[in-house]
Amino acid sequence: MDLKNYKITVGELLSNPKSKAVLHREFPNLINHPMIGMARNMTLEKVLRYAQDYLPKERIRQVISELERI
């Protein structure tokens, strides 16, 4: 999947069944979170800035790598 240099939006990732499945598997609470509607317009780049404070870098790299292989 083309992540558009991390400019792809969360909404675009969730619109693709394969990337949505990866995100759901890795971050099950994300899909059902009440704020997901607001996050749909956020870029992956912005989400990653927040995620690095909460998730190990290796886990983030693994998920990004899997999304790129889609």
pLDDT digits over 21-55, tens only? 999 999 888 777 888 888 899 999 999 998 899 88
Phi and psi torsions of 30, nearest 5°:
-65, -50
Say what the pTM is: 0.87
Structure tokens at 21: 């499945």
Are 59 and 5 a contacting pair, CB within 8 Å? no
Are 60 and 29 a contacting pair, CB within 8 Å? no
User: Averaged over 63-68, what is the pLDDT?
Assistant: 97
- Reported as a pLDDT band with limits 50, 70 and 90, residue 15 is very high
Distance of alpha carbon 37 from alpha carbon 57, whole angstroms:
25
Q: What is the pLDDT of residue 34?
A: 84
User: Averaged over 9-15, what is the pLDDT?
Assistant: 95
Average pLDDT, rounded, for the chain: 92
DSSP 8-state code for residue 42: S
